[in-house]
Amino acid sequence: MVDVSQHELVPEHTVLEDDVLEEVLSEYDIDRTDLPKIKRTDSALPDDAEVGDVIKIVRDSRTTDQAVVYRLVVE
């Protein structure tokens, strides 16, 4: 079976540590639940991602070198 998360077109997905997450939430003045959602069944998620985790996604961008987005893992 093919591991979709390793495909070259899938951007890097990493689980944020709690201390980094607090910095991000503070910077944007938001709560964890204000973030866009991503389903736990999404095949691009790391294996260690659990419901309630926040994922950092780093995408290539035409206008900036990289675009960073955050998603809350939901059931």
| pLDDT value of residue 6 | 73
CA 3, 63, 43 angle in degrees (round to 5)? 15
DSSP 75: -
Domain limits for position 30: 4-74
CA-to-CA separations, 17 to 7, 8, 26, 53, 68, in angstroms, rounded: 24, 25, 14, 9, 16
Give this prediction's pTM: 0.85
| pLDDT value of residue 2 | 67
CATH assignment of the domain containing 62: 3.90.940.20
Q: What pLDDT, in 10s, does the model give residues 15-51?
A: 999 999 999 999 999 999 999 999 999 988 988 899 9
Mean pLDDT of the chain: 91
- Specify the number of domains making up the chain: 1
Name beta bridge partners: 74.
39
Q: Please say if the pLDDT value at position 4 is more than 80.
A: no
